[in-house]
Amino acid sequence: MKMKKILIIDDEKAILDSLSPLLEDEGFIVFKATDGPLGLDIYKKEEPDIVLLDIWMPGLDGLQVLKEIKKLNKGGMVIVISGHGTISTAVEAVKMGAFDFVEKPLSIDKILEVIKRGTSEERPLHSKTEEIRIGPLKGLDVYKQKTIGKSIVAYGLGLHTGVKTGMILLPMPENTGIVFEHIPDGERIPAYVDYVFSVGYASLVKGKNCMVRTVEHLMATLHMYGITNILVKVSEEVPIFDGSAREICRKIEEAGIIEQDAGIEPIVIGETVELQGIPEGKSIKIEPSKHLEIDYVLEGPKPIGFQEFHFVCEKEGFIKEIAPARTYGFLKDFERLEKMGLGTGGRVSNLIILNEEGVINTELRFENEFVRHKVLDLIGDLYLLNRPIIGKITARQTGHIENIALAKELKNRFVDPGKGIG
């Protein structure tokens, strides 16, 4: 097999001296450059397979070098590295054609994992995501695992942080699962129920040092597209976009879906499971069915009133009937959240704002848009099990807290038998 060439462009001599021998030990031919112009000269002469490119360099910075490399070779693999990374820098680099963005201090395991994803060469996957499994695998009677066809980026605003943000979605190998990677910290957090909690207004995942808020719309879209393996690079919050999952669907369609060889066993509900000990007026249960379906009843003050919706969960119906339904709330509730330092990203363009008289900032997309959005959240929260579910859910007045509690109970009963509430 032909040895692959790697060019490292970084003005930090310590990076060049420490990374080069490690990559040479892995069988690569390594070239080094301490600035952008020298790196471009070496690139033209040696035509390396992979470039590790620092962003922050004096003179010609990394993004300028990236632009020139893409002029020379549009398909060239460039991995951008930075010790001062932000999500906006990462998104910009990927939009310009970088394959991925890796934060300093550099880990040889993470570098090798990114290289493996970007090349056809079979190399061991040393990343910690190797330990994150999405469930037991079986033979032909399973759902196929899926990932996206290419990396995609998206800009937006965080609903609760109010910060302009973005996210990068990257394809991942079989058995990786759905994983969030915090920028700039670099910590990876599985989108799994053990790492999740809800504070009522949103669902979030927490690692040792970082958290990612408002994951439910993204998770719902991944659920309905059947995506089981993906890396989501983001800062503190998934963008809210227009308050719905419509833009996320558009981005997934843009990336395309790749069916992988391995399968994933669904959770097939064989008995009725009803959540106990929740507030009066609320209820949620799941019972056997031939597919995943949801019956949801919502009652609220005007202008919400009584709404109900039945949804048989499949992709095309989701795109048309559920994904466009937006986050909503009463003006007084957003004022209360703002006092808590939350909800500061709420704008007239990214949610439905209500008062006692009606909707005050937009036109409804559906007459019963509120209950449809509740179904959207439920679909997303359930996918924090990272596995398809076959069963019928009947829910009344529930929110993220109850959805997560049901997901945990399903894990206890069907993934870790013997741990259920009985």
Q: What is the pLDDT of residues 168-180, one digit of tens each?
A: 999 999 999 999 9
Q: What is the pTM of this model?
A: 0.81
104: left (phi over 0), alpha (psi -120 to 50) or beta: beta
Q: Is 84 designated active site?
A: no
Do 370 and 298 touch, CB atoms closer than 8 A?
A: yes
What are residue 238's DSSP bridge partners?
Answer: none
Do 283 and 396 touch, CB atoms closer than 8 A?
A: yes
Tell me the C-alpha distance between 274 and 80, whole Å: 49
Q: Are strands 203-206 and 211-212 parallel, antiparallel or unpaired?
A: antiparallel
Place of tokens 């997309």: 365
Tell me the C-alpha distance between 260 and 169, whole Å: 17
pLDDT per residue, tens digit, the chain (422 aa), is: 578 999 999 999 989 999 999 999 999 999 999 999 999 999 999 999 999 999 888 888 899 999 999 999 999 999 999 876 678 888 888 889 999 988 887 888 889 989 988 885 443 333 334 344 454 455 555 799 999 999 898 887 755 455 677 899 999 999 999 999 998 888 999 999 999 976 667 899 999 999 999 999 999 999 999 999 999 999 889 998 999 999 999 999 999 999 999 999 999 999 999 999 999 999 999 999 999 999 999 999 989 999 999 999 999 999 999 999 999 988 877 655 455 444 444 444 578 989 888 998 899 999 999 999 999 999 999 999 999 999 999 999 999 999 999 999 999 998 876 544 43
Do 166 and 153 touch, CB atoms closer than 8 A?
A: yes
Distances in whole angstroms, Cα of residue 35 to Cα of each of 12, 39, 208, 250: 9, 6, 36, 39
pLDDT, residue 145, reads 96
Task: Report the b/e string of 24-52 with b at 16+ CB within 10 A.
Answer: eebebebbbbbbbeebbebbeeeebbbbb
Tell me the C-alpha distance between 183 and 407, whole Å: 27
pLDDT, residue 338, reads 53
Q: What is the pLDDT of residues 321-355, one digit of tens each?
A: 999 999 998 887 765 545 544 444 444 457 898 98
pLDDT, residue 201, reads 73
Task: Report the b/e string of 214-243 with b at 16+ CB within 10 A.
Answer: bbbbbbbbbbbbbbbbbbbbbbbbbbbbbb
pLDDT, residue 159, reads 58
CA 111 to chain centre: 20
Read off the amino acid at residue 242.
D
Tell me the C-alpha distance between 377 and 318, whole Å: 12
Of 401, 407, 404, 405, nearest in space to 200 by CA: 401
Tell me the C-alpha distance between 142 and 261, whole Å: 11
Active-site choice (182, 223, 373, 400): 400
Q: What is the pLDDT of residues 299-326, one digit of tens each?
A: 999 899 999 999 999 999 999 999 999 9
Tell me the C-alpha distance between 198 and 121, whole Å: 41
Do 219 and 196 touch, CB atoms closer than 8 A?
A: no
Residue 92: which H helix or E strand, with range? helix 87-95
167 φ, ψ to 5°? Answer: -150, 155
Read off the amino acid at residue 54.
D
Do 234 and 167 touch, CB atoms closer than 8 A?
A: yes
pLDDT, residue 129, reads 40
DSSP structure class, residue 352: E
Domains of the chain by range and CATH?
5-118 (3.40.50.2300), 137-259 (3.30.230.20), 267-415 (3.30.1700.10)
Q: Which two tokens stand for residue 266?
A: 């669904």
